[in-house]
Chains A and B, each alone.
Chain A
Amino acid sequence: MLNKLAFAGIKSRLKDYVVLFSGLVMSSAIFYMFEALATNQSFIKNNTSVSGASFIFQLGAVLLTIITLVYIFYANSFLMSMRRHDYGMFMMLGAKQRKIGQLILLETVVIGVIASVIGILVGWLLTGTLGNFMMSVVIGSRLKHFSAFYLPAVVTTVGLYLGLFLIAGVVNWLSLTKTQVLQLLKGDQQPNRPVLKPVLQVVQVIGGLILLAVGYYCMAHVQTIGLFAILIALVTIVSGTYFLFNAIFIWLVLLLKRTSWATKGLNTFTLSQLQFRIRNYTKMLSVVSILFALALGAITVGIGFHRQIDLMANVNSPYTMAIPDATTVTQKRVDQLKLATKATYQQKETKTTVYYNAAELKTTPLQRVTTTLAELQKQHRSNVTVHYGTMSTTQLQKNPVDLELLQSGAQQTKIAKVVSAAQFARIKGTAHKLLVFRVANLKADQQALKTIQKGENLAAGTVLPGGYGMLVLSTAIYGGLEFMGLFLGIAFLAMLASCLMFKILSGASSDKQRYNMLNKLGTRGGILRRSINREVGVLFTLPGIVGVIHVLFGLQLFKLLMINPYDQIWIPFTIFILLYIIYYVITVRLYERIVLPEIQINN
């Protein structure tokens, strides 16, 4: 009988369950996808050559786990908000508490299992298509050693979700059996009357600021403190954000309520809506602001890595390529490029040394990049301008490293020496010619350069010295990081979206009555809608602002990996904020659909 009742309850709220399920399925799909990509050992070994990358992938996995935890917490509270009333009703009708407890445990776990199984299937599909596609776009070639199905990822995903839902189920059971029936029935109708405690509030603000400062400091000084700093920063920033919100949000709402602005239209109501669930909201806002920061930060860093590739290629060497003993075919190909500079240098190679003719280097001096790193960091244009100068022979005689960097193959390990023309003629060694050139625009000639490099029959995995080779290498290295950043950014954004959605939808059923009453009292539809826009708007804006601040400080962390993490930061910010605004509009529409009554009521 009770089972039947419980099922009837589910059926009557099918729409809400669809929302819950789609959210959970999406979350577990993302989790699986990440696990399949990030923990797939054979894949990682074959596609990234940085030691840091593995750590970053692990950090990503930890972050995603934490977010998933929080996420399930919200999903569960949404579930409970749907079921509280039903279960209260069953108890009123005389159902045993034990029975109710079993029922809620069962329901929670069943939902978890179904959601994670469907999620893995969806994740499998996504990994094979979208994941593969993203990777190939970023890295520039199809992936090797990659399969969308990865058993350890399946096990981790099922394990995590099952475990979390078991815990959630037990928590629900305990909380339900401890709550009075009346409370279950009334739900969150009890007003939360916040009082201003100025001393506590000031303490919270100061404490929050100190915690944030510690967190930001840690991030800016990872180099000296070590990776442990990231952990400290995570904890202090989360708690600091919470304290700040807790103190400032309540204070702000109460302050606004006292102004005459509050007495206009529905403003009192809007403020009361915020005040009514103030404690829940501060918790959520801190979580959301962290999610926001993670999502925005990840996307910023992802796009930053992409630019890094260009920067590295442009500033690494004054020449695009240095080709030893170029064939006539190759020379013809080179001449077809749009060249900025080109030169050929004689070499004489012995067992340990490669000799260069000083006279030759005097008539056609070797070039060097004169733009310093510091200058480069200040540039904020999409195409960096790099300046070139020349090297004098005396400079090269003292320190021939610029020449050594142009040597490839067997010459790579040999030292370079610049000698006078007379000496050069006397040296016994195999004679070579080194062709160096720089194209006017690396990007434009990328395809032709690829053909040239192919024609040189290099050993596998090696490149010719110069900017083009750097481009190829850094695409492989930073491409993986860029993928991580974009993937995590999108994953976090999706989670953020659902967290906010669950939170707002949890309150929708009681809000529905309120908006219905306001309608009966003669509130215009436009005014109701404006109230909703504002309420949801506050819930979006506050964590957004805090999130942006987090990101601006958090980017310090990436000074380790990037020349200038703040470069062209407006691009990812604009993209992200646009996405965020679109998401805001969708949420408002969804919410309005649920809570807004027709002006004409038929009751």
Chain B
Amino acid sequence: MNANAVVSVRDLHKTYGKAGEKQYEALKGIDFDVQPGEFVGIMGASGSGKSTLLNILATLDQPTSGKVTIDQQDVTTLKGNQIADFRAKKVGFIFQDFNLLENLTNYENIALPLSLQNMASSKIKMAVDAVASQLSIAETLPKYPTEISGGQKQRVAAARALVAQPTILFGDEPTGALDSNSARDLLEMLTSVNHEQRVPVLLVTHDPFSASYCQRILFIKDGKIGQTLHREGRTQQAFYQEILDALGTFN
């Protein structure tokens, strides 16, 4: 175990279904750490438990047993408002289906996490403008989510996830609904944020190309980590090739 780890997961189990009903064990003992500033990918076949794992890390779901520490805090013991505050302050989450509120403008969507912290409106404006120009979506701010493209929506969602300067950023197939160009844009943006702000990123993905942006990739099979790949100074192209090979043998 590393004392500096931003995220540390120990012997994590998750069983769906109540005792007595039909049960399904989605996670069967997962262990790993994420170091500050790391960009980690999670891959695996459909139904292998990737989303389950990410949801538990982001406090959207609770494990059956095991320990998850984020920023030195055991998140599995949080209750009620603590959970809400933890999500608001520590976690940034980008969903596959954007999860934007379509009755708020993009500006209001991005500002929401800051409003929830009752920040002064002038400060909110500064923060939103900054993150919007970083993600080059400044001109979409006054529009509504229904009035922009999927790629732009995902950038807005990313901006919302980043605006409160979270301890860690999670993405559950954020490129899943995007075309390859938009996907590339988003990944490059995530990489630069990861580099510049040293925010660790944990990315679930199916797509080997998306995965090639990561420094390390965890392959999940049948609820366990089956294999780990490290980029370690290789070019993205070489890493991409290695991921493809790994997927071939892994599945």
Contact = CB atoms under 8 A, between A and B. Distances in A.
Interface in B18-64: 55, 60-62
A276 B60 CA distance: 28
Given A269-B112, A272-B104, A600 B61 contact: yes
Interface residues of A, number: 33
Given A265-B118, A600-B61, A522 B108 contact: no
Contacts of A518: 101, 112
A264 B115 contact: yes
Contacts of B80: 525, 599
B84 A522 contact: yes
A603 B88 contact: no
A333 interface: no
B84 A599 contact: yes
A329 interface: no
Which of A268, A521, A600 has its CB near the most chain B CB atoms (within 10 A)?
Answer: A521
B133 interface: no
A338 interface: no
B225 interface: no
A526 B85 CA distance: 12
A267 B88 CA distance: 16
B93 A268 contact: no
Contacts of A191: 102-103, 144, 146
B83 A599 contact: yes
B161 to A, nearest CB: 9
Which of B60, B113, B124 has its CB near the most chain A CB atoms (within 10 A)?
Answer: B60
Contacts of A527: 116
11 contacts: A190-B146, A193-B144, A263-B111, A264-B118, A266-B115, A266-B116, A272-B103, A514-B101, A517-B101, A523-B116, A603-B60
B102 A189 contact: yes
Contacts of A189: 102, 146
Given A521-B113, A521-B160, A526-B81, 20 more contacts: A191-B144, A263-B121, A265-B116, A266-B116, A268-B104, A268-B115, A269-B104, A269-B112, A276-B103, A514-B101, A514-B103, A520-B87, A522-B83, A522-B89, A523-B88, A523-B116, A525-B80, A600-B61, A600-B83, A603-B60
Nearest to B102: A189
A521 B124 contact: no
A226 B108 CA distance: 55
Interface in B56-96: 60-62, 80-81, 83-89, 91, 93, 95
Interface of A: 189-191, 193, 260, 263-269, 272-273, 275-276, 514, 517-527, 599-603
B227 interface: no
A602 B64 CA distance: 12
Which of A260, A276, A600, A603 has its CB near the most chain B CB atoms (within 10 A)?
Answer: A600
A515 B85 CA distance: 16
Q: For the side of the interface on B, what is the size category?
A: 35 or more
A122 B87 CA distance: 51
Contacts of B87: 520-522
A166 to B, nearest CB: 35
B99 interface: yes
A26 B62 CA distance: 44
Which of A276, A514, A517, A527 has its CB near the most chain B CB atoms (within 10 A)?
Answer: A517
A268 B84 contact: no
Contact of A268 (B81, B91, B112): B112
B91 A522 contact: yes
A601 B108 contact: no
A172 to B, nearest CB: 25
Nearest to B89: A522
Contacts of B121: 260, 263
B55 A603 contact: yes
A579 B207 CA distance: 59
A46 to B, nearest CB: 58
B174 to A, nearest CB: 14
Interface string B155-183: 00000100000000000000000000000
Contact of A601 (B60, B91, B104): B60
Contacts of A264: 115, 118
Nearest to B51: A603
A517 B99 contact: yes
Contacts of B91: 522
B32 to A, nearest CB: 22
A238 to B, nearest CB: 29
6 tightest Cβ-Cβ pairs between the two chains A and B:
A522-B88, A522-B87, A263-B121, A276-B103, A524-B84, A191-B144
Contacts of B101: 269, 272, 514, 517-518
Nearest to B88: A522
B61 A263 contact: no
A276 B144 CA distance: 11
Interface in B96-134: 99-104, 108, 111-113, 115-116, 118-121, 124
B61 A602 contact: yes
B115 A267 contact: yes
A521 B98 CA distance: 12
Contacts of A267: 115
B84 A523 contact: yes
Contacts of B60: 520, 601, 603
A70 to B, nearest CB: 26
Contacts of B112: 268-269, 518, 521
A398 to B, nearest CB: 79
Contacts of A524: 81, 84-85, 116
Contacts of A603: 55, 60-61
Nearest to B90: A522
Nearest to A514: B101
Nearest to B160: A521
B191 to A, nearest CB: 24
A520 B84 CA distance: 8
A157 B132 CA distance: 60
A258 to B, nearest CB: 10
A521 B170 CA distance: 12
A514 B99 CA distance: 8
Nearest to A260: B121
B115 A263 contact: yes
Nearest to A191: B144
Which of A190, A519, A523, A603 has its CB near the most chain B CB atoms (within 10 A)?
Answer: A523
Contacts of A514: 101, 103
B21 to A, nearest CB: 13
Contacts of A526: 81
B110 to A, nearest CB: 11
Nearest to A527: B116
A525 B61 contact: no
Contacts of B85: 522, 524
A523 B62 CA distance: 18
A525 B81 CA distance: 7
B108 A272 contact: yes
